[in-house]
Amino acid sequence: MRIALDHSTEVGMRTGKLLLGEAKLETLGIVGQPVSDRDPRLRRIDDLEGFDVVVTDDPELGIARQAIESGVPIVAWVDGDDVAPEDPAVPLMTGANLATGIALALAAREIASVGHPSSALVAWTEPGTPVRSGEPVTFPDPVGARWGRIRHRHGISTEVVVPLAGEWAGAVVRVSDEQRTRILGIADLATHLEALALTAGAVTIASGTARPGLVRPADYADEYLLAALRIGLDIASFTSATTP
């Protein structure tokens, strides 16, 4: 597995550290920056030729043109098709972050496993001032019980955004059918979860199974979540009988 890393933030730096824990990693190329670590798999690069994927925390996707011209798939932390090239000839995964990556992939996986759910809620934290009313959501500690705002509602599914100040972050998925309610929860340092989400995207796309064009982590939910779990994602779960 040969991965190029284009980074400029703490999330990108943590992504690099997580990638070095991958047993199948052969080379981690750092785009345009000096490398001080003595790990033999690390080196500075200016050319993307020969890499399996380039992973970037750049919200402007500035490296996209170079990657596409080199025939290298891209994994981006940013959730924005408006900054992505139209119809790229290589796989381009956007939204490899806590919200559209881990949270929505978990929701897609749980909804598919239930088969005929009666309701589904997916919630995640975003940096901001906490609100005192709205949609109640309970995350694992240390995030705990919070109020959120409904971002989107479609059919049985509801998406809720929970503003949260400080260094912690979390995601919750709650899926019900006629017999049971299953709840999955995540809470950890925000930078760690964002880096883990980006790393899981890189590992998923580096496997070479993704189709060309714009994709999201939820399009490959099983592969993406398995990668995240292997990298170190901890998920709390609870199942209860559905109240009539």
Residue pLDDT, tens place only, 145-195: 999 999 999 999 999 999 999 999 999 999 999 889 999 999 999 999 999
d(CA 61, CA 57) in angstroms, rounded, equals 8
Single-letter amino acid, residue 110: E
CA distances 102 to 32, 84, 85, 112, 193, Å, are 29, 20, 23, 15, 9
Residue pLDDT, tens place only, 92-147: 999 999 999 999 999 999 999 988 899 999 999 999 999 999 999 999 999 999 99
Sign of the dihedral defined by the CA atoms of residues 3, 51, 205, 71, in that order: positive
Residue pLDDT, tens place only, 41-78: 999 999 999 999 999 999 999 999 999 999 999 999 99
pLDDT for res 86? 84
List the beta bridge partners of residue 180. 241
